[in-house]
C-alpha cells in the first residue's frame, strides 16, 4: 500500500481527536454529567473501528466491487434510506430531520455510507460502458444511480449533502469521458429533483436559510454563521492557544461538528489552518495521483470518486465556517465529531489503499474469468487521462 497516504490519513485522524476534545470538553461537562472526555471517548472508539476496517480493506482486492457486489451494496443502502423515510421505520428525528437510524444503543447516518456506496457503483458501471458514454444508453444508468442516491439523501431532508452527492457523482461521470451536453442535461435535472424533494420534505426551511444568508439583515438562522466568522476572526496568526478558545463556551453552536474548523482557527490561528489545509490537500492529491497511475479503469475511477468525496466536503465545510456559504451539516473529513462520516471516510480511503497495493502481478490472475477480464490493463479514454 502507499505509505505516504496511510501515514497522512492516520496523522489527520489523530489530529482530529485532539480537536474534538478541545472543542467539545465544555459540552461534555454540561451535557454529560461532568464528563469532559465523553465526546473524545466516543470518537476514539469509532476512529479505532474505522482504522481497523481501513487496514482490513487493504488486504481486499477492491476489484471484487466491480462485479454484481457493487450493485448489491448500493441497493442495500438505498433500501435503508427508504426505510429511514417511512413513518414507522427505524429513523430517529433530530432537529426536524430524520437522518439517523437507531438499532438498540447504536445509531448511525445511512447518508454517509450512501455517498460511499455510490462510488464503486458508478466506477463499476462506467468501467463497463466506456464505449457508450457518448450516448444516452451509457449516460442514463450512471446518471440514474447518482440521482436516486442524492434525491433520497435530500429527502431526509439534507439538501446540502444531497447536492454534494449529486455534484460528486456527475463530476466522476464527466472524468470518465461522458458526453458533456447529455451529462449537463442529466445533472441539471437530477440536482433540480434533489432540491425539489428537499424543499417538499423540509417545509421550505432551505429557502428561509438561503434568504437569511443573502439578506442585509440576517435573522436567527444566520446566527451560527455570524458566530463562526467571529470565531475565525479572533484567531489571528497564531491563535489563542490549543484548548484556550472562548467561542466553544456556548457562543458557537455545534463547535465539534459543523464548525470544528472555526475552533481550529481560533485556537491555532492562520498557521494552524494552513497546516490542516496542506495536509488535507496532500491526501486529496495523493488519491488522485494513485488513480492516475492505476492500471485498471475501475481502480482509477474508484480513486477519483473517493478523492472527489473528500475534496468537496473539505471545500463546503471551509466555506461555511468562513461565512461564504449558508450553514450546512457537512463535517470536515476525518476531523469533525461524527462516527458515521468518520468510518465511511476511512472505508473509502481503505479502498484507495487497496487499489494502490495492487501491482502488475495482481492484474494477471484469473484471466479466463469474465468479471476479471474487464479489469485487466486496458486503455482509459476518460478525460482524466487526457
The pLDDT tens digits for 328-382 are: 888 999 999 988 999 999 999 999 999 887 653 333 334 444 444 444 445 455 7
Who's near 79: CB < 8 A, 6+ residues apart? Answer: none
* Helix, strand, coil content of the chain in percent (nearest 5): 70, 5, 30
Q: Residue 99: its pLDDT value, please?
A: 78
SS3 of 78-127: the string is HHHHHHHHCCCCCEEEECCEEEEEEECCEEECHHHHHHHHHHHHHHHHHH
- Give buried/exposed letters for 351-377 (b at 16+ CB in 10 A, else e): bbbbbbbbeeeebeeeeeeeebebbee
Query: How would residue 244 be classed by pLDDT, with cut points 50, 70 and 90?
Result: very high
Quote the distance between the C-alpha of residue 372 and its chain's center.
29
Joined together, the cell numbers standing for residue 364 give: 494477471
Query: How would residue 385 be classed by pLDDT, with cut points 50, 70 and 90?
Result: low
| C-alpha–C-alpha distance, residues 162 and 152, integer Å | 8
Helices (H) and strands (E) in the chain, counts: 13, 3
Q: Residue 146: its pLDDT value, please?
A: 93
Distance separating the N- and C-terminal Cα atoms of the chain? 26
The pLDDT tens digits for 106-146 are: 778 888 999 999 999 999 999 887 777 888 888 999 999 99
For 54-68, 275-289, 336-350, which range has the lowest pLDDT when averaged over its residues? Answer: 54-68
Q: Residue 192: its pLDDT value, please?
A: 82
Task: Look up the pTM and report it.
Answer: 0.89
Q: Residue 369: its pLDDT value, please?
A: 46
Mean pLDDT of 151-179: 89
Q: Residue 329: its pLDDT value, please?
A: 80
- What average pLDDT does the chain have? 85
- Give buried/exposed letters for 21-60 (b at 16+ CB in 10 A, else e): bbbbbbbbeeeeeeeeebbbebbeebbeebbebbeebbee
Q: Residue 67: its pLDDT value, please?
A: 78
Q: Residue 365: its pLDDT value, please?
A: 36
| C-alpha–C-alpha distance, residues 172 and 167, integer Å | 9
| C-alpha–C-alpha distance, residues 202 and 111, integer Å | 16
The pLDDT tens digits for 166-215 are: 999 999 999 998 888 888 998 888 888 877 777 676 555 666 667 666 66
Amino acid at each position: 500500500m502507499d505509505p505516504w497516504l496511510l501515514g497522512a490519513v492516520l496523522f489527520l485522524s489523530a489530529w482530529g481527536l485532539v480537536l474534538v476534545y478541545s472543542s467539545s470538553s465544555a459540552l461534555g461537562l454540561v451535557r454529560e454529567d461532568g464528563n469532559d472526555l465523553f465526546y473524545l471517548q466516543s470518537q476514539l472508539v469509532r476512529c479505532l473501528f474505522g482504522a481497523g476496517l481501513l487496514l482490513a480493506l487493504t488486504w481486499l482486492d477492491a476489484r471484487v466491487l466491480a462485479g454484481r457486489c457493487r450493485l448489491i451494496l448500493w441497493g442495500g443502502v438505498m433500501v435503508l434510506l427508504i426505510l429511514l423515510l417511512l413513518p414507522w421505520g427505524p429513523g430517529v428525528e433530530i432537529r426536524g430531520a430524520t437522518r439517523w437510524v437507531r438499532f438498540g444503543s447504536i445509531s448511525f447516518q445511512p447518508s454517509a455510507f450512501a455517498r460511499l456506496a455510490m462510488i464503486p457503483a458508478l466506477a463499476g458501471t462506467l468501467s463497463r460502458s466506456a464505449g457508450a458514454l457518448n450516448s444516452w444508453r451509457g449516460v442514463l444508468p450512471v446518471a440514474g444511480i447518482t440521482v436516486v442516491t442524492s434525491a433520497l439523501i435530500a429527502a431526509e431532508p439534507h439538501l446540502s449533502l444531497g447536492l454534494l452527492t449529486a455534484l460528486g457523482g456527475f463530476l466522476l461521470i464527466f472524468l470518465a469521458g461522458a458526453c458533456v451536453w447529455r451529462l449537463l442535461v442529466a445533472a441539471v435535472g437530477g440536482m433540480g429533483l434533489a432540491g425539489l424533494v428537499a424543499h417538499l420534505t423540509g417545509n421550505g426551511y432551505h429557502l428561509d436559510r438561503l434568504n437569511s444568508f443573502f439578506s442585509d439583515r440576517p435573522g436567527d438562522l444566520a446566527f451560527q454563521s455570524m458566530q463562526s466568522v467571529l470565531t475565525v476572526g479572533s484567531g489571528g496568526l497564531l491563535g489563542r492557544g490549543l484548548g484556550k478558545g472562548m467561542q466553544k463556551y456556548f457562543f458557537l453552536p455545534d463547535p465539534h461538528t459543523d464548525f470544528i474548523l472555526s475552533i481550529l482557527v481560533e485556537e491555532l490561528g492562520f498557521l494552524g489552518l494552513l497546516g490542516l489545509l496542506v495536509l488535507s490537500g496532500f491526501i486529496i492529491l495523493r488519491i488522485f495521483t494513485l488513480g492516475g497511475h492505476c492500471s485498471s479503469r475501475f481502480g482509477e475511477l474508484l480513486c477519483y470518486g473517493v478523492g472527489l468525496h473528500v475534496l468537496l466536503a473539505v471545500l463546503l465545510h471551509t466555506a461555511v465556517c468562513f461565512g461564504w456559504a449558508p450553514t450546512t451539516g457537512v463535517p470536515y473529513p476525518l476531523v469533525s465529531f461524527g462516527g458515521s462520516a468518520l468510518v465511511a471516510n476511512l472505508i473509502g480511503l481503505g479502498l484507495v489503499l487497496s487499489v494502490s497495493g495492487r501491482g502488475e502481478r495482481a492484474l494477471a490472475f484469473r484471466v479466463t474469468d469474465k468479471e476479471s477480464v474487464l479489469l485487466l490493463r486496458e486503455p482509459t479514454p476518460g478525460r482524466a487521462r487526457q
